[in-house]
Each structure stands twice: as structure tokens, then as C-alpha cells.
Amino acid sequence: MSIALIVLAAGQGTRMNSDLPKVLHRLGGAPLVAHALRAGRALEPARVVVVAGHGAERVTRALAAHDPEADVVLQTEQLGTGHAVAQALPALAGFEGRVVVLYGDTPFIRPETLEAMLAAEADVAVLGFEAADPGRYGRLVADGAMLERIVEFKDATDEERAITLCNSGVIACDAGLLADLVAGLSNDNAAGEYYLTDIVSAARAQGRRAAVVTCPEDETLGINTRAELARAEALFQQRMRAEALENGVTLSAPDTVFFALDTHVGRDAIIGQNVVFGPGVTVESGAEILPFCHLEGCHISRGATVGPFARLRPGAELAEDVHVGNFVEVKNAILSEGVKVGHLTYLGDADIGEATNIGAGTITCNYDGVMKHRTTIGARAFIGSDTMLVAPVTVGDDALTGSGSVITEDVPAGAVALGRAKQVNKPGLAGKLFEMLRAEKARRSAKKDH
């Protein structure tokens, strides 16, 4: 069966009190809409259409980074969910199959739930949930699994408002039938909007079968406020930690580890407390991340150790058995097998050969104020503490730089490079300088007292 997705992402989200479109607020380091798309992509859809409206340009740019194959259509007027789907349908012209309608602000729908909806023996399948506090949710008027209609809270009677089976908004329907039902929608309701939910009663009027598929309430959580976003983040992290533990990852203090949507950590990896994963991190099996590290856009190979208090930025590639120690920052740099960077070092835009040792205080000076330049260090080199490597520069295999050197020229393989100013000693001058400084300090103190 061929599948298409329509993801509704046009709302402004006024209760977020933000200039940012609601679907671009981040959860697990990724926009809310990326979570909905990830769940939908698990169905291997042939077509994906995202309906944008408020902040459409920003939404389109974000989608280009997270799901570049998705088509984006514009809903210029916010006239309801039915109207939004109507804007998407022309982009599915000629598509024959099942359409699933998702929401860009509902991040926790599981692929297994969507598969259950597609498997339902019905012309229209609606995702529902039993609400602990139904509040202002739309109600599902059903007879067992058979769905009769969906009633929005604004239009519901007191008897209908007593129903606890609520509507998530997620719908699965044949493409041709969906187009027919949406074309017949009316805005004759309390809000003056075209409700997608009205397709259920329209389908039933045609003698079509509508069914309810249920899921846990937290799976349908929609984000409308900052408080809800915070609760969603807590739920997301709880699920990611549980998944990591189930997959054989050791978390020394699970509640202090924060994951991103696309974090991948291999079996038998060890993650210490207070570790934060930004987007785009892969940690292979058997690697160890010590406490208080921040990782983003990096790859850490088997047997490598990172931290404590290390920062890996985008483009950091650590090969097997690399050691990156405390207060080390690595950005857009490749560290080959067995490299050791113990402490207090910045490696940016660099290639480091295998078994090389980088001394404390080393900096690759990669930026000239306009352009970035690369540093290349060969295998088995020894970079002395407090070496400044002024890129572009190359240090050859088995070479050594003296501590405190400023290296501005290439260093041949096997050579020793010293780039220090000549040391000059002035006998007896230290005492005279201290006497002068103490006298000046006393003068300033006396002046302050008066």
C-alpha cells in the first residue's frame, strides 16, 4: 500500500508568546515538526507534504535541513484544519493510496500507532485516546470501535462533553475519498472554520466505515505553551534514557544526561553524569564519555574516551582509542587512532595523525579574521605544551615542537621545531622591581586614605 503524509504546520501558536513559529520550537534539539516527520517517515511514504503558514519562510528553511524531500505548501489564511488539508491535496494530485494527516506540534506519535491506523478495516481511521481530563478536546462519539462522528468542544452538548474518548486529530484515509470529503466541508460552526474532523460524519453519511484506533494519552500530547514544551522535554528525555538503558548503554546518573532526537549511542558505551548531547552525535560501542561534557555534530569511535569537561563541536571525528581530556575543545577536526589530547587545548580545522600526543595549552590558530585555515599534524608527533600552531601549517610524522613555541612554518618529518623568543636574564633586577612596586602600592593606599 502506498502512503502519503500531510503534516499541518501552519499555526502561529500565540500562547507560546514567541516570534518563532510554534513548530520550530525545539524538543530534544530538533524542531517539533521534525519529530512528527520522523514518525511519519518510518512508514516509508511515497510523498510528504507540509502545510506552512505563519513564518512559512523559516519553516521552509528548517525543513530543508531536516527533511529536504518534503514538499511545502502555503496556507495563507488560517481557516481550520480542513482548509489546511485542502491546500495540501493539489500537491498529491495523481497519488493513489492512503494519506495520513499529522500535526507539526504533536511530537510523540509512534510509528507503531500509525501502522495500527493503516491496518484498521475502515475507510477513515481516527486516532483517539482516553483523557484523564478531557478539557477542551474534541470528543469521539463511537459505538465500540465504530466511530459515528467527532464533535468539537465548542459545538458539543453537555452529554457529549461528558465523553472521555478524545480526538488527537490524526487521521488516515484513502486519498481519493479524502479529497472528496474535504471538498464538501462547511464552516457552519461556532468557530467559522473548516474542521477536518467533519469528514467522519460525511463519510458515515455516504455509508462509509469509520473506526477509532486508540493510544496512550501522552502519545498525543500537543504543544501549545512553554510549560507544555517543558513537560514534553522531560517526557522526551525520560523515554530516551529508558531506551538507552534497554539497549545496553550504561548511564551513571540517567536523570542528568540529556539526549537529542538523533543521538545514537552503541551498546556497552558508558555515559557519565551531566553529559549533554546536541544534534548529530554518534557514540560507538565501548566508548566512554566522562562527566560534564557537551557533544554536538561529532562521531566518537570504539574505545575512545572523552572528558571530563570536554566539548566536541560539529565536525569532530574521533577514531578508536583516542583520548580527549578535560577542558579540551575539538571542532571540525579528525583525530586518528590513538591520539591523546590530555587537557586545556583547542583543536579546530585540523587533521591529527595516529598516536600523536598533543600537550596542554596547544591551540590551532585557525582563523585570520576572514577565513579559516587547516592544521595538519602527522603520525607519532609530539606537540609540546603551550604550542601555538598558526594555520595553514603542517607538522610532519615523528616531529616535535618545543613547549611555548609559536609555529608559523611547516615542520619536516622527524624535526624539532622551536619558535620561542630568546630568554634574557637581568641579575638582581627582581628585588629592585619589587621595591618599586611596593612603594607605588603604599603611595596609592595613602592617597586613598586621605
Q: Give me the residue label for grid cell 489564511.
A: 77
Cis ω before 254 (30° cut-off from 0) = no
Residue 219 corresponds to which cell in the numbers above? 502519545
Residue 81 contacts residue 168 (beta carbons within 8 Å) = no
Residue 78 contacts residue 12 (beta carbons within 8 Å) = yes
Residue 16 contacts residue 25 (beta carbons within 8 Å) = yes
The 3-state secondary structure of 270-329, one letter per residue: EECCCCEECCCCEECCCCEECCCCEECCCEECCCCEECCCCEECCCCEECCCCEEEEEEE
Which helix (H) or strand (E) is 177 found in, with range? helix 175-183
Active-site residue, 343 included: yes
How many CA atoms lie within 13 Å of 99's alpha carbon, on the beta-carbon side? 26
Nearest-10 Cα torsion for 123, 127, 129, 134? -100
Phi, psi torsion values for 232, nearest 5 degrees: -65, -40
Closest by CA to 147, choosing from 166, 129, 126, is 126
Residue 97 contacts residue 18 (beta carbons within 8 Å) = no
Residue 111 contacts residue 45 (beta carbons within 8 Å) = no
How many CA atoms lie within 13 Å of 322's alpha carbon, on the beta-carbon side? 30
The 3-state secondary structure of 410-439, one letter per residue: CECCCCEECCCCCCCCCCCHHHHHHHHHHH
Per-residue CA distances from 131 to 124, 165, 166, 249, 406 (Å): 22, 6, 6, 34, 66
Which helix (H) or strand (E) is 149 found in, with range? strand 146-151
Residue 98 contacts residue 172 (beta carbons within 8 Å) = yes
Q: Which of 66, 264, 343, 373 is catalytic?
A: 343
Residue 237 contacts residue 263 (beta carbons within 8 Å) = no
Closest by CA to 176, choosing from 94, 238, 62, 251, is 94
Q: Which residues are catalytic?
A: 343
